[in-house]
A and B are shown apart, each in its own frame.
Chain A
Amino acid sequence: AQSVTQLDSHVSVSEGTPVLLRCNYSSSYSPSLFWYVQHPNKGLQLLLKYTSAATLVKGINGFEAEFKKSETSFHLTKPSAHMSDAAEYFCVVSDRRTYKYIFGTGTRLKVLA
């Protein structure tokens, strides 16, 4: 069975400081992992994905995530937060056998001026 746990429901950072959004996953098979961002009343946009290539994945808008199999983690980071980063972030797991996306419950990122 697959599952995703986003450890923080809300994160607040000051503009210009680093962002860390935590995600742990469980998967019986080699997982594919994704981070999506959702701005208010908008659809979901893919930030980055891991599909068994390099463990450090670079995405759009300066975000990156590192796949750590030993820790079953896929945390999302950004060196310097921007006001426009304020949104809801979802960690998603899928595996090679299935098409279903399993979503975490989301982390709401707030960026303070």
Chain B
Amino acid sequence: NAGVMQNPRHLVRRRGQEARLRCSPMKGHSHVYWYRQLPEEGLKFMVYLQKENIIDESGMPKERFSAEFPKEGPSILRIQQVVRGDSAAYFCASSPTSGGGHEQFFGPGTRLTVL
């Protein structure tokens, strides 16, 4: 059973460009979470999605950031008009069920660098 897949692993963008990060959850998992890790910090929750639904986006900036998890295909985290402060590692996790106490399985992350 393949783990959580993320691509690209590294992404370089210039200020003002768009960044598109992809996450394929583990087989059988319908719950996806995105986290951001700034340098020298822990991970911070951004958004929680189920298929075709955003359940909680309270950790995601209101502007320029969006996320989706379509019926078919990977979950996408999209950052428009990137700025230097968006440089970070973005991790996706998935779980088979929701609710506290359930293990989330993490992907290897996408490291975004904004020049």
The interface of chain A, by Cβ under 8 A from chain B, is 32, 34, 36, 41-46, 49, 51-52, 90, 94-106
Contact = CB atoms under 8 A, between A and B. Distances in A.
A90 B41 CA distance: 10
Q: Of A44, A45, A102, which is in contact with the most chain B CB atoms at under 10 Å from its CB?
A: A44
B104 to A, nearest CB: 6
18 contacts: A34-B103, A41-B111, A43-B4, A43-B91, A43-B107, A44-B91, A44-B106, A46-B103, A94-B100, A96-B99, A96-B100, A96-B101, A97-B99, A99-B56, A99-B99, A101-B104, A102-B45, A103-B35
A101 B35 contact: yes
B31 A105 contact: no
A44 B106 CA distance: 6
Nearest to A49: B103
- State which size class the interface on B falls in: 20 to 34
Nearest to A94: B100
Given A43-B107, A43-B108, A94 B45 contact: no
Interface in B13-50: 31, 33, 35, 41-45, 48
A36 B93 CA distance: 13
A42 B108 contact: yes
A98 B56 CA distance: 11
A101 B101 contact: no
Nearest to B44: A103
